[in-house]
Structure 1
Amino acid sequence: MAKPKYDLIMLKLGGEALAGPEGTGISAPRAFDIAKRVKEIREMDVQVGIVIGAGNLWRGKEGLEMGMDQATADYMGMLGTVMNALALMDALEKAGVETRVQSAIEMRAVAEPYIRRRAIRHLEKGRVVIFGGGTGNPYFSTDTAAALRATEIGADILIKATKVDGVYDSDPNANHGAKKYDRLTYLDVLQQRLAVMDSTAVSLCMENKLPILVLNLWDEQALTKAIMGEEVGTLVSN
C-alpha cells in the first residue's frame, strides 16, 4: 500500500457535522459516520487531532441578538464544543478507536485539561485527540482554535471538512455558476474575503506555513484521497 502524504493532520469540523436533519442537536448516526471516516485514516497509520465547533448547539451570534454579553455567549459556545467532543469520542471508541478529549477550559470530571506535550504523546501512541473548549478565550473562533492547536502539535495540514467540495467565489447552492478554486494562496483568501476560515485563523496558518485543505466531509472518498495526496477539494498554501 502506498504511504500517506501526511503523518499528522488536524481535522476541523463544524458543529453542524453532528446535527440531525433539522440542523440542530446531536445525531448518533452522524457521529458514527464521522467516526467511520476517522477510523479509516487511523488505519492508514496517520495521527489525527480534531477540533469541532458548536453551531448545532449554540451560536454566539444568537446570544448577541438577545442582548447577551459577547464573552458570556462565547464561553457558552466553548462549553458546547466540549459536549460535541464527548459525543464524537463516544462514537470513535465504539468504533474501536482509542480517543482522548482535552479541554482548554478545565473540567477534569469529563475531559483532560489541554496540555500540549500530553496531547502529542497521545497522538504518538495512536490515540485520536479531540480538542474542546476552543482556545479557552472569548472572541476567538473554533477555526482559530484549530489553526492554533494544529501549529502547536506540529500538524502537516489543517483539513476543514464542510458540506461542499471546496472553496467557491460565491455560494454554490445559491449560484449554479459559482467558480470552484483548486488552489489559493493565503493572501487570495484574505484579500477576496473568501469563506474558508476567519482571517485570524488564515493569518496564523500563513505565518506558520500550515496548508489548509477544504473538502466535502460527506464524500466517502474525499478524506482518504486527501491523505494520500490526491487532488481533492481546495488547497490553500503559499
Structure 2
Amino acid sequence: MNTPKYKRIVFKLSGEALAGEEGFGINPTVVNSIAKQVKEVVELGIEVAIVCGGGNIWRGKIGSEMGMDRANADYMGMLATVMNSLSLQDSLENVGVPTRVQSSIEMRQVAEPYIRRRAIRHLEKGRVVIFAAGTGNPYFSTDTTAALRAAEIEADVILMGKNNVDGVYTADPKTDATATKFEELSYLEIISSGLEVMDTTASSLSMDNDIPLVVFSLNEEGNIKRAAMGEKIGTTVRGKY
C-alpha cells in the first residue's frame, strides 16, 4: 500500500504512553520515538493533529475520589495535558516538524488559544497541531476532546495509540487469559458492552459524526505510520452502526 488511506488524522496519545515503563512522568526517549514516527506520517503528506492525555502526571478522577472538588481536579488534569503537549512539541520541532500547540485554556505565553479555523490553516500548511487542555471544561475526558476536535476539523479518522495493548479485547488481556481481540466492531457495540475503549460521550460523538477509530499498540515502532496508511493493525471501530 503506497497511497495513504487518510488525508487528515487525529492521533490520540494517552499520557501513560509518554511515561514509558516508569508509568509516571515524561520519558524523553519515548517522546522522541513518538516524534520521529509522527514525522514519518507528516512526510507522507498526511495532515496530523494530536490530542495528549495527562494521566502520566495527574488524573482528575483520582483527585475527585480523594475528596477534591471534581471541577478543580479536572482543571489540574487539563494543565497536565499542556505539559505533555509542550514536551511533544519540543521533540517534534527537534526532528524538523513545525508544530503548534493550541490550548482550550488561554495561556498565551506558552500556547495559542484554540481557534478552529487557525488550526485547519496550520494543518493545510503541513504543521502538526497539538490540542491541549482538553475541551476546556471539567467532566470531559481527552477521549471526548479527540472526538470533538476530529469532528470540528473534519478529520478522516481517530488513531488511538495504546501502551502495552494492541487493540480492543473482550476483557483485560493482562488479567484474563481467555480475552480475545476484536478485529472490527461498532461504537454501538462498545457502548452496549461497556468496553473501556473510549468513554460513552466520546463514543457517541464519534458515532454521530461517522468518524472511524483505529486502536493499536505504540510498543512496536512504525505502527503510527502503518495505521495512518490504512494497514490492518489493531482494532477498527466503525463510524456507522
Q: Deviations over 1:19-73 (max 9, x none)?
A: 1432111111111011011011011110000000100110112211321000000
1:178 maps to 179
Q: How much identity, in percent, do the aligned residues show?
A: 60
1:49 maps to 49
Greater shift, 61-70 or 185-194, is seen at 61-70
Distance (Å, rounded) in 1 between the aligned partners of 2:56 and 2:142:
13
1:122 maps to 122
1:85 maps to 85
Structure 2 segments unaligned to the other structure (5+ residues): none
Greater shift, 102-111 or 219-228, is seen at 219-228
Q: With structure 2 as the length reference, what TM-score do the two structures score?
A: 0.96
1:220 maps to 221
**Is 1:11 matched with 2:11?**
yes
Greater shift, 92-101 or 218-227, is seen at 218-227
Structure 2 matches for 1:195-210, cutoff 5 A? 195-210=196-211
Deviation of 1:173 after TM superposition, in Å, equals 1.1
Distance (Å, rounded) in 2 between the aligned partners of 1:52 and 1:221:
19
Contact 2:38 2:225 in 1 (8 A): no
Deviation of 1:220 after TM superposition, in Å, equals 1.7
Distance (Å, rounded) in 1 between the aligned partners of 2:204 and 2:61:
23
Deviation of 1:228 after TM superposition, in Å, equals 1.9
Distance (Å, rounded) in 2 between the aligned partners of 1:165 and 1:16:
15
Structure 1 segments unaligned to the other structure (5+ residues): none
2:32 maps to 32
Distance (Å, rounded) in 2 between the aligned partners of 1:212 and 1:228:
14
2:193 maps to 192
1:150 maps to 150
**Is 1:234 matched with 2:222?**
no
SS in 2 for 1:21: helix
Greater shift, 58-67 or 28-37, is seen at 58-67
Structure 2 matches for 1:56-135, cutoff 5 A? 56-135=56-135
Q: Deviations over 1:161-187 (max 9, x none)?
A: 102111000011112221100000111
Distance (Å, rounded) in 2 between the aligned partners of 1:222 and 1:110:
30
Q: Deviations over 1:100-125 (max 9, x none)?
A: 00000000000000000000000000
**What stretches of structure 1 move > 4 A for 4+ residues in a row?**
none
Distance (Å, rounded) in 1 between the aligned partners of 2:73 and 2:228:
36
Distance (Å, rounded) in 1 between the aligned partners of 2:229 and 2:61:
38
Deviation of 1:230 after TM superposition, in Å, equals 1.6
Distance (Å, rounded) in 2 between the aligned partners of 1:54 and 1:224:
23
Contact 2:104 2:132 in 1 (8 A): yes
Q: Deviations over 1:154-211 (max 9, x none)?
A: 1000011102111000011112221100000111101001111000000000000000
Distance (Å, rounded) in 1 between the aligned partners of 2:220 and 2:95:
20
Distance (Å, rounded) in 1 between the aligned partners of 2:33 and 2:177:
28
SS in 1 for 2:100: strand
Deviation of 1:225 after TM superposition, in Å, equals 1.9
